[in-house]
């Protein structure tokens, strides 16, 4: 193309030299600030290319001289967080669980840690508000099957309930009375049990049930029906029913027996998390104070299944 560049009079700008049907293009230069930003972006881009992962390769991208990865960053952040928490976690690791309630600051830290851990590990059965459901105890109330002081909760959490592979687990087994007691006897004993908490009025049937209860149930549930925590035998006189206090449910319970299970957590969670969970469950409103002389955990959980079975067998 012939060089038709000329100065455009109204603007004083040079044209690029093209012309179509009288239409010409001005060679207006880019604004200075724009050119500077443009080159600055390119320089920045080159720097980024060298420092950070940038060019896609077959399996991964180039590493960049800083060796930065988002996973590495997460890892560093998690390490920093662990380090930040170290004073609390080491204090929690060293304090015996029964003394935790006496240390306000540590207890509160444990409760908050436990609240988070509970949401991950416990809500599947006990519910997000720890209110439980049929067969899964409500942890907010003041009724405890195996004990509600910090230590007892801690033992339950550590060793679980009725874990077949574990010697120290909390264990007991209510016998199924179908076949052992007649239908009439079961009707009488359920009526008696319901009368303990005022759900039924005393009658001849409940009187008969009382005798049957004394012979078959009192060894675990106590002569007064108030239960025994050594065996996880529930208190039958209160207003709280794990499976239900209506006639049909109670009849099913006596016929088939109930024995819920809970995982042990000592093979899944670290001791500090278990302590935090114990503190959280203890804080929900039903937490009890430790009995005066703190008994070794073994004494509580050491009840052999055989012994319980023998008692029931009588």
Partner 1 sequence: MSGIEPLKVQQPALYEGRRGVYPKAVDGFFRRMKWVIMAVTLAIYYITPWIRWDRGQYAPDQAVLVDLANRRFYMFQIEIWPHEFYYVVGLLIMAGIGLFLVTSAVGRAWCGYACPQTVWTDLFQHVERFIDGDRNAQIRLEKASWGVEKISKRLTKWAAWLFIAFWTGGAWIMYFADAPTLVREFWSGEAATVAYATVGILTATTFIFGGFMREQVCIYMCPWPRIQTAMMDEKSLLVTYKDWRGEQRGSLKQAQANPQAFGDCIDCNQCVAVCPTGIDIREGPQIGCITCALCIDACDKVMAQIGKPRGLIDYCTLDDAVAVKSGRQANPPLKTLFRPRTIVYFGIWASIGLAMLFTLGQRTRLDLSVQPDRNPVYVRLSDGAIRNNFTLKIRNMETRPRIVDVTINGLSGAVMWTADGKREFAKQSVNFAVAPDAVHKVRLFIAAPPEGEERTEFRITTRARSGDERGDSDTVIFERPETEE
Kindly list the residues in this chain that would bind partner 1 in the complex (CB under 8 A): 10-11, 127-131, 138, 140-143, 197, 235, 238-240, 283, 285, 289
Nearer to partner 1, 196 or 212 (CB): 196
Closer residue to partner 1 in complex, CB, 168/288: 288
> Which DSSP letter does residue 101 get?
G
Least distance from partner 1 to the Cβ atom of residue 120, Å: 16
CB 189 within 8 A of CB 216: yes
CB-wise, 31 or 164, nearer to partner 1? Answer: 31
Write the DSSP assignment of 29-81 as a string of letters.
PPPHHHHHHHHHHHHHHHHHHHHS--SB-SSSB---TT---HHHHHHHHHHHH
Q: How far is the CB of 37 from partner 1 (least distance, A)?
A: 16
Least CB distance from residue 286 to partner 1, whole Å?
8
Nearer to partner 1 among residue 141 and residue 168 (C-beta): 141
> Nearest distance from residue 240's CB to partner 1, in Å?
5
Can you tell me the distance from the alpha carbon of 127 to that of 206, in angstroms, rounded to the nearest whole number? 36
CB 29, min distance to partner 1, A: 13
Q: How far is 275 from 106, CA to CA, in rounded Å?
A: 11
Minimum distance from residue 71 beta carbon to partner 1 (Å): 28
Distance CA 227, CA 241 (A): 13
How far CA 68 is from CA of 44, 49, 50, in Å, comes to: 17, 12, 11
* 41-56 exposure pattern, b = at least 16 Cβ within 10 A, e = fewer: eeeeeeeeeeebbeee
* Phi, psi dihedral angles at 287 (to 5 degrees): -60, 135
**Residue whose CB is less far from partner 1, 45 or 285:** 285
Q: Give whichever of 176 and 199 is closer to partner 1, judged by the CB atom.
A: 199
| Residue 129 Cβ vs partner 1, minimum distance, rounded to whole Å | 3
In terms of CB distance, is 168 or 238 closer to partner 1? 238
List helix spans (H) across the chain. 32-51, 70-94, 104-121, 123-126, 150-159, 183-196, 204-216, 218-221, 247-256, 271-282, 297-301, 305-313
């Amino acid at each position: 193309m012939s060089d038709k560049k000329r100065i455009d009079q109204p603007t004083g700008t040079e044209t690029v030299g093209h012309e179509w049907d009288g239409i010409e293009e001005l060679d207006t230069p880019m604004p200075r600030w724009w050119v500077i930003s443009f080159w600055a972006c390119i320089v920045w881009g080159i720097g980024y290319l060298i420092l950070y992962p940038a060019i896609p390769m077959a399996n991964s991208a180039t590493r960049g001289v800083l060796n930065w990865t988002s996973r590495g960053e997460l890892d560093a952040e998690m390490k920093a967080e662990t380090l930040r928490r170290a004073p609390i976690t080491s204090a929690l690791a060293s304090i015996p669980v029964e003394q935790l309630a006496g240390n306000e600051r540590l207890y509160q830290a444990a409760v908050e840690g436990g609240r988070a851990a509970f949401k991950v590990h416990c809500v599947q059965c006990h519910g997000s508000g720890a209110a439980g459901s049929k067969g899964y105890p409500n942890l907010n109330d003041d009724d405890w099957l195996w004990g509600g002081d910090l230590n007892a909760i801690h033992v339950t959490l550590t060793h679980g309930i009725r874990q077949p592979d574990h010697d120290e687990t909390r264990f007991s087994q209510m016998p199924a009375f179908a076949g052992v007691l007649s239908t009439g006897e079961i009707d009488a004993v359920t009526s008696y049990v319901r009368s303990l908490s005022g759900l039924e009025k005393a009658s001849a049937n409940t009187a008969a049930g009382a005798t049957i209860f004394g012979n078959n149930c009192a060894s675990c549930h106590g002569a007064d029906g108030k239960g025994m925590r050594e065996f996880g035998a529930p208190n039958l006189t209160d207003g709280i029913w794990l499976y239900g206090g209506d006639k049909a449910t109670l009849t099913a319970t006596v016929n088939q027996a109930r024995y819920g299970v809970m995982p042990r957590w000592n093979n899944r969670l670290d001791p500090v998390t278990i302590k935090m969970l114990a503190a959280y469950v203890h804080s929900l409103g039903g937490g009890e104070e430790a009995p005066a002389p703190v008994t070794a955990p073994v004494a509580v959980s050491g009840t052999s299944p055989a012994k319980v079975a023998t008692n029931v067998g009588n």
